[in-house]
């Protein structure tokens, strides 16, 4: 799916960076850039837009105010130089919250959440990154995690715990968001609370999967899809 997106930001350097990043991702299409919030709203009233990269601090209307006005079908990714607005942004069901200056890695992590098909590609090399940046403690602290090191991901209500070969990382997120950032060829959900790495499975039976000595339950809802995957690789 191609997502039509616009940039709404009154800072030209920021819009140039976002425009450049959008051009690198082959499931994004830029259809407009606006430094005026009211003109952006006029455009949204007449044109189809899937995603809006929305600065929070702007004259006339703030990004938070705009997000309350626009259609709920439009996905919002906030961009700002001020981390204090992050909580309110997420309360408005934003896809993500990007703190300026925005790196391409962080941008890619955010837009990968848009696609229900996790196998997304970057047009400059046709390969998705083999790592994720996981938000940890602190306003702008992220831990780089290589996909090959992830054993499994565990849901903990409003948090998830990412179990790797070296450590456990807890972050404020949902299991759904994590799934959308992982390649479906390498990871599969086996339970409402667990997503596992296929390459790290040690053994399995009708009820459990064993990874790194840990027994994880297989939920009835996910059982058929999991064993279909196993059948494709059995001898």
- pLDDT at res. 123: 35
Q: Shortest CA distance to 52 belongs to which of 70, 25, 27?
A: 70
Q: For residue 185, give both structure tokens.
A: 């060829």
Q: What is the dihedral of CA 143, 196, 115, 158, to 10 degrees?
A: -60
Please state whether 54 falls in left (phi above 0), alpha (psi between -120 and 50) or beta: beta
Q: Shortest CA distance to 152 belongs to which of 141, 140, 168?
A: 168
pLDDT digits (tens, 9 = 90+) for 121-136: 333 344 556 888 888 7
- pLDDT at res. 179: 85
Separation between Cα atoms, residue 51 and residue 120, nearest integer Å? 16
Separation between Cα atoms, residue 223 and residue 205, nearest integer Å? 11
Q: Is the pLDDT of residue 191 over 70?
A: yes
Residues 185 and 205 sit within 8 Å (Cβ to Cβ): no
Separation between Cα atoms, residue 86 and residue 90, nearest integer Å? 6
Residues 223 and 216 sit within 8 Å (Cβ to Cβ): no
Residues 65 and 41 sit within 8 Å (Cβ to Cβ): no
| pLDDT band, very low/low/confident/very high, at 10 (cuts 50, 70, 90) | very high
Separation between Cα atoms, residue 225 and residue 2, nearest integer Å? 27
| pLDDT band, very low/low/confident/very high, at 139 (cuts 50, 70, 90) | low
pLDDT digits (tens, 9 = 90+) for 141-162: 788 889 999 999 999 877 899 9
DSSP 6-23: EEE-S-HHHHHHHHHHHH
Q: For residue 157, give both structure tokens.
A: 């209500």
Q: Which residues contact 151 (CB under 8 A, 6 or more apart)?
A: 163, 164, 165, 196, 197, 200, 211, 212, 214
Q: Is the pLDDT of residue 194 over 50?
A: yes
Q: What is the pTM of this model?
A: 0.50
C-alpha triplet 183, 160, 5: angle, nearest 5°: 55
């Amino acid at each position: 799916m191609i997502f039509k997106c616009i940039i709404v930001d009154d800072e030209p350097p920021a819009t140039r960076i976002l425009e450049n990043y959008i051009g690198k991702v082959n499931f994004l299409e830029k259809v407009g850039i606006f430094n005026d919030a009211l003109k952006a709203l006029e455009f949204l009233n007449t044109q189809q837009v899937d995603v809006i990269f929305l600065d929070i601090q702007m004259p006339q209307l703030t990004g938070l105010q705009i997000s309350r006005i626009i259609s709920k079908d439009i996905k919002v990714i906030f961009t700002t130089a001020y981390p204090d607005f992050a909580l309110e942004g997420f309360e408005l069901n934003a896809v993500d919250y990007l703190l300026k200056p925005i790196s391409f890695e962080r941008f890619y992590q955010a837009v990968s959440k848009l696609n229900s098909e996790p196998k997304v590609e970057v047009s400059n090399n046709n390969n998705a990154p083999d790592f994720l940046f996981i938000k940890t403690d602190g306003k702008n602290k992220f831990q780089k995690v290589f996909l090959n090191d992830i054993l499994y991901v565990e849901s903990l209500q409003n948090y998830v715990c990412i179990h790797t070969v070296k450590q456990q990382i807890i972050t404020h997120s949902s299991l759904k968001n994590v799934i959308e950032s992982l390649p479906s060829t390498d990871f599969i959900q086996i339970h409402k609370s667990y997503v596992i790495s296929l390459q790290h499975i040690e053994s399995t039976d009708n009820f459990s999967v064993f990874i790194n000595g840990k027994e994880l339950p297989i939920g009835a809802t996910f059982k058929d899809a999991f064993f279909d995957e196993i059948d494709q690789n059995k001898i």
